[in-house]
Structure 1
Amino acid sequence: MEWKNIYRGMLMGASDVIPGVSGGTIAVLLGIYDRLIAAINGIFSKDWKKQLGFLIPLAIGVGTAILLLSRLIEWLFEHYAGPTQFFFLGLIIGILPYLFHQADAKSTFHTKHFVLLVIGAILIGSMVFLQPDEPAVIKDITMSTYILLFFSGFIASSAMILPGISGSFMLLLIGVYPTIIGAISNLRLDILAVTGVGILIGIVVMSKIINFFLSNYRIGTFALVIGLVIGSIAVVFPGWPTTTSLLFLSIGAFAIGLFVAYILGRVEYTD
């Protein structure tokens, strides 16, 4: 078991609670994205024990973070949304040099790869123009609601595994985000089970698609992934603080994000 993945999973789980921040982005930042995709695809292979040794600690970390930190993240997002987003902004910007280093961009990137990078950045950056209204919690749970929750989980997990695309943001667009967050806080097992099945199936299906491109077009896929991460900067950026105290708080949060990115870079990207 790769128990180190518990803390990695906790970072991914905490980010997945926040609309605009992608667990896939965090996986890229941690340097485990391609390993994650390969592990999900390898569950049904002869090396399934090895893949589970990677995935189980990661899943424990994700689940723990979502259960324990969902209320904290909700509170931070409600009362200190700007500084919280500035922290993730610092994290994303701070780790970008390591991503380019990991991809060996100086040697491997050609014009077509930079075009893919720009396309990825524009694709995700354009999501900043989507401003979904905050939906209400669904209280009257019917069979059609369960069907909606299943497909919401499928769509959100497909987005979750793509860097730069926030699963929580997709849930907001669909209109079920408060319902699912409320189910996590109040342990509504029926809602969690139906949504969870959709999430699992979505992760498996999307990982197979991504694995195909990583296996056959590795450098191009990395270029696109880095572009998706760069584009997420525009989505995460909350706007400039309106008060002096909030400005200093946001600068501090951004600096902490940069520092955490530096530490992660030293730990995850250098031997």
Structure 2
Amino acid sequence: MDWKNIYRGLLMGITDLIPGVSGGTVAFILGIYDRLLAAISGFFSREWKKHIGFLIPLGIGIVAALVIFSRLIDYLLEHHLEPTQFFFMGLILGVVPFIFKEANAKQNFKASHIIALIIVGALLASLGFIKPDEAAEPITTLTFPNAIGLFFAGWLASMAMLLPGISGSFILLLLGVYTTAIRALKDFNIPLIIVIGAGVIIGFIVSSKAIRYLLSNFKYMTYAIIIGLIFGSFFVMFPGVPHGSSLYLSIATFIIGLAFSLWFSSDKMTKKKHK
């Protein structure tokens, strides 16, 4: 068992609670993105046994984060929105140099890659102007119609979680079920958690295979799109210019997030060079 994956799962789980932050981005920062895709895709194949040691500790960390930190994240977003958002903006921006190096963008990116990067980034950034309607009361009782809706919401959200730059939580916001999911975790509403979780698992399986195929057959275009998604998510998360003491705290949290991300990314690059 790769028990280090518990802390990696904790980090991914925490970020998946934040609208605008992608667990896939954190997987990139931690240097396990390719391994994650291979493990999820391969778990439902004849070679499933060799992936258990990677996925079980990661899953324990993610589930623990969702259960333990759902209340904390809910509190931070309600009472300290700007510093929290700026921390994750720094975290997101810091991974870009690593991906540029992974793709060797200076040599491999052509005009088509740059155009795709700009278009994807602009399209995702435009979602920042959408104000999801979360005024409705969260679902607390499961019925057949809302179970179908929650299942597919979990499916779509999990597909977004694996893509760096797209937040599964933001997809849930767009679909109007984010508060339902957070409330289910806070109140430990087992039926709702099972339905949404089933959609998440199916989405992981489908999207992991699709992303692996794209990285294998359209590597540099896929990297260009991923970079565009990351830039776009940066603008989606921007909460506006803070005022007063919140401005200084937001600058500090942004620098901390950026430094953390750059440190992890440079550490992964150094290890790769010495292999």
Asked if TM exceeds 0.5, the reply is: yes
> Aligned to 1:238, what secondary structure does the other structure show?
coil
1:199 aligns with 2:171: no
Conserved? CA contact 1:29–1:99, under 8 Å: no
- Percent identity over the alignment is 52
Which residue identity does 2:255 align to in structure 1?
A
**Does residue 105 of the first structure (1) align with residue 100 of the second (2)?**
no
Q: Which residue of 1 aligns with 2:245?
A: 245
**Count of matched residue positions in the alignment of Structure 1 and Structure 2:** 270
Q: Which residue of 1 aligns with 2:159?
A: 158
* 1:267 positional shift: 3.1
User: 1:2 is matched with which residue?
Assistant: 2
- 1:145-187 deviation per Cα after TM superposition (whole angstroms, max 9, x unaligned): 2122111111111221222221111111222111111111111
Report the Cα distance in structure 2 between the residues aligned to 1:63 and 1:264, rounded to whole angstroms. 23
What residue is the counterpart of 2:177 in the other structure? 176
Q: Which residue is 1:124 aligned to? A: 124
- Alignment-derived partner of residue 217 in structure 2: 216
Deviation at 1:190, TM superposition (A): 0.7
Write the distance in 2 (CA, Å) between the matches of 1:256 and 1:50. Answer: 36
3-state secondary structure, aligned to 1:18: coil
Identify unmatched segments of 5+ residues in structure 2. Answer: none
Match of 1:36 in 2: 36
* Alignment partners' CA distance in 2, 1:86 and 1:111: 32
- Once the two structures are superposed, the pairs formed by residues 87-102 of structure 1 within 5 Å of their partners are 87-102=87-102
Residues 94, 258 of structure 1: 8 Å contact kept = yes
Aligned counterpart, 2:187: 186
Show the counterpart of 1:24.
Answer: 24
Post-superposition offset of 1:75: 0.6
Q: TM-score, normalised by structure 2?
A: 0.93
Offset at residue 65 of structure 1 (A): 0.9
Structure 2 CA distance, aligned partners of 1:94 and 1:161? 18
CA drift at 1:95? 2.4
Q: Distance in 1 between matches of 2:138 and 2:198?
A: 20
| SS of 1:44 mapped into structure 2 | coil
Counterpart of 2:76? 76
Residues 120-159 of structure 1 show CA distances to partners (whole Å, capped at 9, x for unaligned) of 2122112112111223212443221212211111111122
- For 2:164, what is the secondary structure of its paired residue? coil
What RMSD in Å do the two structures reach over aligned CA positions?
1.5
Q: Secondary structure at the match of 2:125?
A: helix
| Runs of at least 5 residues in structure 1 that lack an aligned partner in the other structure | none
**For 2:140 and 2:224, how far apart are their aligned partners in 1?**
43
Cα distance in 1, alignment partners of residues 170 and 204 from structure 2: 17
Other structure's SS at 2:43 match: helix
Contact map agreement 1:34 1:214 (CA 8 A) in 2: no
One-letter identity of the residue aligned with 2:217: N
1:49 is displaced (CA, Å) by: 2.1
Matched-pair contact (CA < 8 Å) for 2:25–2:163: yes
* The 10-residue stretch of structure 1 (60-69 or 141-150) with the greater mean CA deviation from structure 2: 141-150
One-letter amino acid of the structure 1 residue matched with residue 107 of structure 2 = S
